[in-house]
Structure 1
């Protein structure tokens, strides 16, 4: 890939910083997020090996120490040889230099059995998400950062919008090959191949699955519940599998970077909060394909469009949080009394409550939950601000600490695939 074709990633700066700080950097993310492209563009003196090469995999499994000579070294798909991580631990304990080892994998290493212990204190973990709309179009990652400022600049949210562009983005997701597909049919074929590859390769690297049809059925059912509270008993019932099997399969989906469980915000112990996490897919295009939503007409027929809009917003929030996961937290807030905030963003003791509204109009009644959240947290954080993302054009204020912003700023008009470089 030439320099003119490469699309810079938001995570690049954090990755460079990590390599200057820690002896082991682990870069995870689902297959096709662009991990290999990113790491191969690092300083040219780094050796690069991939465990997709069967000879390299055999050496990593049988004589892992022999691979680790002459760092700095990048090892792609390192999750395929867990014993390699123990060899890296031994090497780092003898010679500790920043940036010696960069590991990538299509699984979240801290969730793999034994991995967290083997690299404890020696590694930093970064997560490369699939492209969000702003990143794909070459935009900067500052829209959400601006919401934490003492005097936020809302001008970037007030630019001309393509109001229904989010629907196109949620169908396409964030994988570069899918974004390049010029037709719905071509994109559907690509997603079908992607899921098949995940089931037949990545999943088997993680665990022995007795019934792949059962697992794929659970994936389809889980996709239908994106943006909702996770009810494992309900999913197990609908999938026709045991509850313990459902729990294991969901854990594998999370370990394999396919789903994300967003936890509830619990800073106020005096409020009766819903403790169940919310389920989101890491890539909205995969979720749509699993649900049989192959084009805009099929999406328009859904009676749960609000949840899909929330999924589309989540994809950008996930990319924003991944840039600096040590300072940024993402959760949601819901009380048993029915008050709800879709997302809660935290950064350096400052809190932004985010409510997503599909309507093009917004009034005082639409920001009631934001007001309740602010009142509940006002004395527990350095600052608390409420943001309602809605489908209108204008920035609207509902007091000094609540503002409504057009969600269209997150979804720029889609560049035709034939004109897109990445």
Structure 2
């Protein structure tokens, strides 16, 4: 057994949410892609000492398989790291909680979405609260422990947005540099040049393919799986068409579907659903495809930063913000049969906030067209449109569309 002590890494956005949940629920489950900082977060946030066991340790993994009751027994708070490596352990956790529902007893972390894993039969319903740890947001990388100014935008009347965003803690930088370093703590914070990061990204992908995937499913051809990843990363920001994707990599559609689900389960791939008033229609419309980390996506695709990567950066920040909230917000994109499209729509508090992302320093009136169409479609339910660009000006391009630099929001 290893005892962990509190350290002082960068503050994380979910810190408050995790502490609140540990004070209420017998178990809290923190999931996210490998190397997002889950173990470090567990060390940072838990006051005092608690026992720590990781299933990356083969002895602990063997114990989890041989005698899970003994592993989770005892009255002291315990952190179990990488629990997806032995899903049956959750049944032992359930039984332990049913004997003693003391708050904060279990802190579980995993590098896969346990609720999407077929091997997981125990969801800990009513016993656990779930949190997702996404890669570092830009503000987390700056030591601010937060996401973009989405909460402030939602809480400020539309007419006050310009004053809100023209001032404050905006820190200008080249979005391409942010996209290329991504949000994983090691390449984003500790590595200083592209060559070092390329070595890290290559090792990350190899580890993911050769080890982490084997915890989730049997892949009969890792080269084919890697080609699918590369093809997906070349389609960021596009509607997901599994048949076309399969043709590109010479794989049958059922295989593409299964492997994309694995990528989503392990927090590599992100599907952004369509927004529609009818929630059933959201489920049947094609999602748009993005990646959990822009730097990994560009490494896999061998691509330079493009407009889709700026969209992906904004979405990554929104995902981190959304999943740290107590009150759930929904994210989607909006598209008409005529091809009119809004990149992201935030649905929160019964209102809609449409966002368009443009990799241009000089937004034009024409860039507002789809935002204004959206507002006309949804009337009083829609907030003013937000057009994020790469320049420096904060201005109302029309009475209902505010153009603002991306770095004043993220």
TM-score relative to the length of structure 2: 0.91
2:94 aligned residue (63, 86, 89): 89
User: 2:30 & 2:280 partners in 1: Cα distance?
Assistant: 38
Shift of 1:111: 0.5
Which residue does 1:403 correspond to in 2?
A: 402
Q: Which moved more, 1:358-367 or 1:9-18?
A: 358-367
5 Å matches for 1:17-416?
A: 17-41=20-44, 42-69=46-73, 70-113=75-118, 115=120, 117-139=122-144, 140-141=146-147, 143-151=149-157, 152-155=160-163, 157-158=165-166, 165-179=174-188, 180-267=190-277, 275-293=285-303, 298-299=304-305, 305-324=306-325, 326-379=327-380, 381=381, 384-410=383-409
- For structure 1, which segment, 233-242 or 262-271, has the greater mean C-alpha deviation from structure 2 after superposition? 262-271
Q: Could you tell me whether the CA contact under 8 Å between 1:27 and 1:105 is conserved in 2?
A: yes
Matched-pair contact (CA < 8 Å) for 1:158–1:393 = no
CA drift of 1:95 comes to 2.0
Deviation at 1:150, TM superposition (A): 3.9
Runs of 4+ in 1 over 4 A off after TM superposition: 1-5, 159-164, 268-274
| 1:46–1:72 Cα contact (<8 Å) kept | yes
Cα distance, 1:365 vs. partner? 2.1
Displacement of 1:156 in angstroms is 5.5
Question: Is contact 1:260-1:281 (8 Å) kept?
Answer: yes
CA distance in 2, matches of 1:48, 1:253: 28
Q: CA deviation at 1:24?
A: 1.5
Quote the offset at 1:392 in angstroms: 2.5
Report deviation, 1:153: 4.5
Deviations 1:211-253 (A, max 9, x none): 0001011011111111111111111111111110000110000
SS at the partner of 1:170?
helix
Q: Tell me whether 159-168 or 243-252 shows the greater mean CA deviation.
A: 159-168
Match in the other structure for 1:419: none
Correspondence for 1:12 among 10, 15, 19: 15
Runs of 5+ consecutive residues of structure 1 not aligned to the other structure = 300-304, 412-422
After superposition, the Cα gap between the structure-2 partners of 1:269 and 1:72, relative to the gap in structure 1 and judged at 3 Å, is closer
Aligned equivalents of 2:397 and 2:344: distance in 1?
Answer: 19
Partner in structure 2 of residue 415 of structure 1: none
Cα distance, 1:93 vs structure 2: 2.2
Partner secondary structure for residue 347 of structure 2: strand
| 1:375 positional shift | 2.1
The DSSP-based 3-state class of the residue aligned with 2:155 is: coil
TM-score, reference length from structure 1: 0.88
Distance 2:140 2:341 in 1: 29
| TM-fit CA distance, 1:141 | 3.1
The 1-side partners of 2:226 and 2:142 are apart by: 32
Q: Report the Cα distance in structure 2 between the residues aligned to 1:18 and 1:94, rounded to whole angstroms.
A: 20
Q: Which runs of 5 or more structure 2 residues have no equivalent in the other structure? A: none
Q: Distance in 2 between matches of 1:99 and 1:371?
A: 47
Q: CA offset at residue 272 of structure 1?
A: 11
Contact 1:377–1:384 (Cα < 8 Å) also in 2? no
Residue 163 of structure 1 deviates from its aligned partner by 6.5
Q: Which moved more, 1:71-80 or 1:388-397?
A: 388-397
Deviation at 1:108, TM superposition (A): 0.7
**Change beyond 3 A, Cα 1:146–1:74:** same
RMSD of Structure 2 on Structure 1 (CA) = 2.5
Query: C-alpha distance in 2, partners of 1:93/1:86?
Result: 11
For 2:312 and 2:281, the matched residues in 1 are separated by 27
**Relative to 1, partners in 2 of residues 1:198 and 1:142: Cα closer, same or farther, differing over 3 Å?**
closer
2:267–2:292 contact (8 Å) kept in structure 1: yes
| Aligned-partner Cα distance in 2 for 1:400–1:197 | 51
Q: Secondary structure at the match of 1:14?
A: helix
Structure 2 counterpart SS, 1:201 = helix
